[in-house]
């Protein structure tokens, strides 16, 4: 392997483009993407014939520059010549990263909170909730609401943890589950969740149509009357009178439902932007109608009020406190000869769709401006606010009307509302239509996201490419919705929705539980409220609710998911996402660990496994195998003692003794070790200041400063995060320094770096400092050295003396310039340039990080055909007067990832 620049490429050769690993599917950065931060590496190498080429200083690549870089954050070629020959042979490169989408995105309010609110405040609240209170009584209704609310709250906690663990693409819960549990589980649960959303659209449409026909009975093409004989016990008293109640005809529901679904599909075809524009028009009347209900409850009974409405009364509340489960007909009207018997479990299946709107925001994750912020905040606020509203409504409705009124008057909310029932009719219709729009918008995007992952070839028809709407998926969703509308029975549809949503919720909780249990270094969610026990309780609660509602529906839904899982296993394409199951195999099965191999480890599952070089310099006492604190430092690089069997990082002490003891063999040994590590594809961490390294009882206060000069796959960032997990460093903060030329747009550079760190879930302050390059400093290039510090002049003098000795020996023996048994090439101008660059970098570190707890800086690889003695002088100048420093070099592999 040839090495020459900071990125390990020779100075006069065109570096080959690095191919991304086949399992990665990241998009490369195009010339039209947002700004790409790139710093030119310090050029250490020289050509074999001694020729030198000009080197460009640090530069900032602005938008529109014709640049393509590997999206896997590999160290890319940076020393190729431009077409006009003006580009230098190497550049100081900071990093590259996947560009994110730049179109207008949605915020927390319109992207998450409003869709969740529209789905939760739906048809169940308006035309089924009073009936639920009447059937289950106040205390069981409170238990019902709290039970379902706890399930959705715990699921929201798990959803927030995974969503804040990195950048999130489209697909919502499917994306989260698939990346955590694998493509087979993700596709199986994702398709079931898609069906749940599609069927939910039918539920909302039927709710809107039923309300319309109840409000305007004459609009029905068919008429139907149901006679109710109230000879059952109501509140312990037998009522023998009969009453006739008009209910919408099934065929009317079908006809109007199909028409409404088609109209909604036309709106959905207009795209998500149109949905967002009309969303307030649907939501504001809904909120107003709820306010009207509350006003009407507090001023009831009004003149001409129904005989069942008593107003808020303690007596009514006591009468409705206990449950009164009865038989009903298919329309839900109490009937002693009815075919349906209701109990708590049946009410659970009917009510649960009222709280399934928590996924409405995550379904549109590709359209969100900031998923890591919007999904947790918007979803949690919607969940808590609506749960409180439902709990309050149980008391209000239970104290408002008699049991008979709660059970027979489906539109009791409208009857009590102020100033007129028409307000509630409008609110119900707009609420359900708005929720239907959200379902018909989210479901196609979910299906398109599954298809775009290219796991199942049969789903290729539903793909939607970047910037386009999923029209085919929308048509398919509309077909499913219309098919369910034809069924026409709201109470038969809701248990189906419940099962699919609960299956998805259980998958989200299990995903978070597994990720928390494995606790890989890449698992760093910003959401601090989650805990593995909460995720486990949430998953168990979902499963319990499924079986409580219906064993039959549960078995059918699990069987469907299992069939899809089996089909994906047989026909699906492999998707290497570094999922949790692979991580479990990686940690728990030694045979799987060996078969996978260290080079195939995904960044999500990567663990630093140090190999300590104890006596590379041979000057320690015989009874001391290595520096006592070298093992302590290596332990700081590990996360709870986990990892591979094969070391991937070489850890050694910086040879501070070489000049003091005049050990002239150390430079060649030092360079050989680094070169061997590069060839063997091992990362390198060199520690200076072990005498001052704290033990586990010495708490440090201050900053951990990173001078990130070379893309190393994120190793330096990962090490800083691992240090924070130790008690001695947990009170420290991380600072990332970006070194740029004086004419760089510092604020734009800082913003891009902060965005990159945010997507990596890394809390750090970003500081941009300027450093004048060799070419930009006329004193350096002109040869004036009068202002150089003594340490710089001494290093120059020693190098010149050493090179003179090499030349004298070569001339005396009539051979090329040799160091040991290796031929070397010396360019004295470049030697001065390298010394100057190291001097400036050292001065920058001392100016900004003199009080830092520890400093991390990129390790420049030894230049090709360069004297090892010169390289040792460069390194000495870099670490001069810095008490505690880690010099880090990655090995061209990612150890952190942007994606969840």
Least confident segment among 127-131, 373-377, 422-426, 572-576: 572-576
Tell me: do 716 and 574 sit in the same domain.
no
**Most confident among 349-363, 735-749, 844-858, 862-876 (mean pLDDT):** 844-858
So what's the pLDDT on residue 583? Answer: 66
The predicted model gives 59-68 an average pLDDT of 37
How far apart (Å, rounded) are the C-alpha atoms in residues 454 and 734? Answer: 39
User: How many whole angstroms separate alpha carbon 681 and alpha carbon 686?
Assistant: 16
pLDDT of residue 580: 64
Structural domain contains residue 756 = yes
Nearest to 350 by CA among 492, 198, 178: 492
Q: How far apart are CA 455 and CA 463, in angstroms?
A: 12
User: What is the signed CA dihedral for 814, 819, 820, 823, rounded to 10 degrees?
Assistant: -70
Give the pLDDT of residue 116. Answer: 84
pLDDT for position 809:
86
User: What's the whole-number mean pLDDT along residues 48-68?
Assistant: 37
Least confident of 279-288, 437-446, 512-521, 571-580: 571-580
On whether both 316 and 384 belong to a single domain, the answer is yes
- The stretch 183-206 carries a mean pLDDT of 87
Average pLDDT value for the chain: 76
* Residue 626 is assigned to a structural domain of this protein: no
Quick one: 652 and 749 in the same domain? yes
- Domain end, chosen from 512, 547, 581, is at 581
Please give the pLDDT value at position 750: 84
Does 257 lie in the same domain as 342?
Answer: yes
Encode pLDDT of 2-24 as tens digits. 333 444 433 333 333 433 444 33
- Return the pLDDT at 575: 66
The pLDDT of residue 287 is above 70: yes
538 domain residue, yes or no: yes
Report the pLDDT averaged over residues 445-460.
86
More confident residue, 337 or 146: 146
The predicted pLDDT at position 143 comes to 95
pLDDT at 526 over 80: no
Of 548, 581, 614, the position where a domain reaches its end is 581
Asked if the model's pLDDT at residue 215 lies above 60, the reply is yes
pLDDT score for 600: 60
**Residues 545, 551: Cα–Cα separation, whole Å:** 10
726 with 638, same domain: the answer is yes
Instruction: State the pLDDT confidence band at 743, using cuts at 50, 70 and 90.
Output: low
36 within some domain: no
What does the pLDDT average to over 245-267? 84
The tokens describing 468, both together, are 């386009």
User: Do both 642 and 709 map to the same domain?
Assistant: yes
Predicted confidence band of residue 104 (pLDDT cuts 50, 70, 90): low
Give whole-number Cα distances, 465 to 105, 271, 469, 477, 542, in Å: 17, 14, 8, 18, 34
Average pLDDT, integer, range 423-447: 84
**Domain of 452: which CATH number?**
1.20.1740.10
Name the residue among 645, 569, 659, 581 with its Cα closest to residue 609: 645
Closest-CA residue to 170 (of 383, 371, 461, 422): 371
pLDDT for residue 10: 37
Question: Are 370 and 280 part of one and the same domain?
Answer: yes
pLDDT of 887 over the 90 cut: yes
- pLDDT tens for 320-358 read 999 988 888 766 777 777 777 888 988 888 888 888 878
pLDDT at 453: 84
Specify the pLDDT at position 31: 38
* 241-253 pLDDT per residue, tens: 555 566 778 888 8
Does residue 600 belong to any structural domain of this protein?
A: no
- Taken in order 374, 380, 385, 386, the sign of the CA dihedral is positive
Element (H, E) at 554: helix 551-571
Report strand pairing: 818-819 vs 340-341. unpaired
Range in 120-124, 248-252, 775-779 with the lowest mean pLDDT: 775-779
Best-predicted range by mean pLDDT (13-17, 458-462, 758-762): 458-462
Inform me whether the pLDDT recorded for 616 exceeds 80.
no
As to burial, measured by CB atoms within 10 angstroms (0-12 exposed, 13-18 middle, 19+ buried), residue 53 is middle
Band the pLDDT of 97: cuts 50, 70, 90: very low
Angle at 781 between CA 778 and CA 786, to 5 degrees: 80
436 pLDDT higher than 90: no
**Mean pLDDT, residues 164-180 taken together:** 77
Residue 360 falls inside a structural domain: yes
> Residue 597's pLDDT band (boundaries 50, 70, 90)?
low
447 and 385 in a common domain: yes
Q: Which domain holds residue 877?
A: 632-775+798-889
Q: Is residue 15 part of a domain?
A: no
CA distance 422 to 453: 47
- As a whole-number percent, the residues of the chain with pLDDT over 90 amount to 15
Is the pLDDT assigned to residue 620 strictly greater than 60?
no
529 lies in the same domain as 677? no
In this structure, the answer to whether residues 648 and 530 fall within a common structural domain is no
Sign of CA dihedral 803, 805, 808, 813: negative
List the single range of 265-279, 609-623, 739-753, 791-805 with lowest mean pLDDT: 609-623
What's the domain count of the chain?
A: 2
- pLDDT higher than threshold 50 for residue 785: no
In this prediction, residue 50 carries a pLDDT of 40
Task: State the CB neighbour count (10 A cutoff) for residue 809.
Answer: 13
Greater confidence (814 vs 702) lies with 702
**What's the pLDDT score for residue 821?**
79
* 786 vs 421, more confident: 421
Query: Does residue 653 carry a pLDDT above 80?
Result: yes
C-alpha–C-alpha distance, residues 646 and 889, integer Å? 18
| Listed range (198-212, 361-375, 696-710, 839-853) with the worst mean pLDDT | 361-375
Q: Is there a single domain that holds both residue 692 and residue 765?
A: yes
Identify which has the larger pLDDT, 511 or 775.
511
Residues 286 and 209 in one domain: yes
More confident residue, 524 or 261: 261
Residues 6+ apart with CB under 8 A from 468: none
Statement: residue 537 has pLDDT above 90: yes
In this model, does residue 184 exceed pLDDT 70? yes
pLDDT at 224: 61
More confident: 534 or 69: 534
Q: Which of 545, 565, 581 is the last residue of a domain?
A: 581
Residue 201 contacts residue 447 (beta carbons within 8 Å): no
Percentage of the chain beyond pLDDT 70 is: 74
**DSSP output for 70-85:** -TT-------PPPTTS
The answer to whether residue 621 is domain-embedded is no
Q: For the residues 591-614, what does the mean pLDDT come to?
A: 63
pLDDT of residue 639: 62
């Amino acid at each position: 392997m040839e090495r020459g620049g900071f990125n390990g490429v020779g100075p006069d050769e065109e570096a080959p483009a690095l191919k991304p690993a086949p399992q990665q599917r990241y998009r490369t950065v195009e010339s039209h993407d947002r700004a790409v931060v790139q710093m030119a590496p310090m050029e250490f190498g020289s050509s074999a014939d001694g020729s030198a080429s000009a080197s460009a200083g640090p530069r900032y690549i602005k938008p529109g520059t014709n640049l393509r870089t590997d999206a896997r954050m590999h160290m890319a070629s940076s020393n190729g010549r431009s077409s006009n020959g003006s580009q230098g042979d190497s550049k100081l490169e900071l990093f590259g990263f996947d560009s994110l989408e730049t179109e207008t995105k949605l915020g927390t309010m319109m992207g998450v909170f409003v869709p969740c609110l529209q789905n939760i405040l739906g048809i169940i609240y308006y035309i089924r909730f009073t009936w639920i209170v009447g059937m289950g009584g106040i205390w069981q209704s409170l238990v019902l609401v709290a039970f379902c609310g706890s399930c959705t709250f715990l699921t929201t906690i798990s959803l927030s943890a995974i969503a804040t663990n990195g950048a999130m693409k489209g697909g919502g819960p499917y994306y989260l589950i698939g990346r955590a549990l694998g493509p087979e589980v993700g596709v199986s649960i994702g398709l079931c969740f898609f069906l749940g959303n599609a069927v939910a659209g039918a539920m909302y449409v039927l709710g809107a149509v039923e309300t319309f026909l109840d409000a305007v009975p004459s609009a029905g093409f068919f008429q139907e009357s149901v006679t109710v004989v109230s000879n059952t016990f109501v509140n312990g008293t037998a009522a023998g009178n009969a009453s006739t109640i008009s209910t919408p005809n099934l065929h009317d529901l079908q006809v109007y439902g199909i028409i409404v679904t088609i109209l909604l599909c036309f709106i959905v075809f207009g795209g998500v932007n149109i949905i967002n524009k009309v969303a307030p028009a649907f939501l504001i009347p809904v909120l107003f109608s709820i306010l009207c209900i509350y006003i009407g409850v507090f001023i009831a009974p009004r003149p001409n009020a129904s005989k069942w409405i008593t107003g808020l009364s303690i007596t009514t509340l006591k009468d409705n406190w206990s449950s009164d489960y009865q038989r009903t007909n298919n329309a839900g009207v109490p009937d002693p000869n009815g075919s349906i018997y209701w109990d708590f479990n049946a009410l659970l299946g009917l009510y649960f769709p009222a709280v399934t709107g928590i996924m409405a925001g995550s379904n549109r994750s590709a359209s969100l401006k900031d998923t890591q912020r919007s999904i947790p905040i918007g979803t949690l606020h919607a969940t808590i606010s609506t749960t409180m509203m439902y709990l309050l409504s149980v008391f209000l409705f239970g104290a408002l009307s008699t049991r008979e009124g709660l059970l027979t008057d489906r539109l009791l909310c409208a009857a009590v509302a102020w100033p007129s029932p028409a307000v509630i009719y409008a609110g119900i219709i707009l609420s359900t239509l708005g929720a239907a729009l959200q379902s018909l918008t989210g479901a196609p995007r979910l299906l398109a996201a599954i298809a775009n992952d290219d796991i199942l070839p049969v789903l290729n028809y539903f793909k939607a490419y970047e910037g386009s709407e999923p029209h085919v998926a929308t048509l398919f969703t509309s077909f499913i919705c219309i098919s369910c509308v034809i069924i026409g029975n709201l109470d038969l549809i809701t248990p189906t929705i419940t099962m699919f949503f609960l299956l998805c919720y259980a998958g989200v909780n299990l995903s978070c539980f597994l990720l928390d249990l494995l606790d890989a270094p890449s698992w760093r969610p910003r959401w601090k409220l989650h805990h593995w026990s909460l995720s486990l309780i949430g998953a168990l609660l979902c499963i319990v609710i499924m079986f409580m509602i219906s064993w039959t529906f549960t078995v059918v839904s699990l069987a469907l998911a299992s069939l899809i899982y089996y089909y994906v296993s047989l026909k699906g394409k492999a998707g290497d996402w570094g999922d949790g199951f692979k991580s479990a195999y990686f940690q728990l099965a030694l045979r799987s660990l060996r078969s996978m191999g260290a080079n195939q480890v995904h960044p999500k599952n990567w663990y630093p496994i140090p190999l300590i070089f104890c006596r590379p310099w041979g000057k320690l006492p015989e009874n001391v195998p290595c520096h006592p604190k070298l093992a302590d430092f290596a332990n700081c690089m590990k996360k709870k003692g986990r990892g591979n069997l094969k070391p991937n990082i070489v850890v050694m002490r910086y040879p501070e003794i070489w000049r003091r003891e005049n050990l002239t063999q150390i430079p060649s040994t030092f360079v050989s070790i680094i070169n061997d590590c590069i060839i063997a594809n091992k990362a390198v961490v060199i520690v200076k200041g072990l005498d001052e390294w704290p033990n586990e009882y010495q708490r440090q206060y201050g900053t951990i400063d990173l001078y990130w000069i070379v893309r190393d796959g994120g190793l330096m960032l990962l090490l800083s995060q691992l240090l924070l997990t130790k008690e001695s460093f947990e009170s420290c903060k991380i600072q990332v320094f970006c070194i740029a030329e004086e004419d760089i747009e510092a604020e734009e550079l800082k913003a891009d770096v902060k965005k990159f760190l945010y997507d990596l879930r890394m809390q750090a302050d970003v500081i941009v400092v300027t450093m004048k390059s060799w070419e930009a400093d006329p004193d350096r290039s002109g040869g004036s050295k009068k202002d150089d510090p003594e340490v710089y002049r001494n290093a120059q003098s020693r190098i010149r003396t050493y090179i003179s000795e090499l030349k004298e020996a070569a001339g005396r023996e009539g051979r090329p310039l040799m160091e040991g048994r290796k031929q070397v090439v010396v360019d004295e101008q470049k030697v001065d340039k390298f010394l100057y660059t190291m001097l400036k970098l050292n001065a920058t570190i001392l100016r900004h990080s003199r009080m830092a707890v520890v400093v991390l800086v990129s390790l420049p690889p030894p230049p090709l055909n360069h004297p090892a003695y010169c390289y040792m002088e460069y390194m000495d100048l870099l670490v001069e007067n810095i008490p505690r420093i880690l010099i880090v070099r990655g090995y061209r592999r990612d150890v952190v990832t942007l994606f969840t």
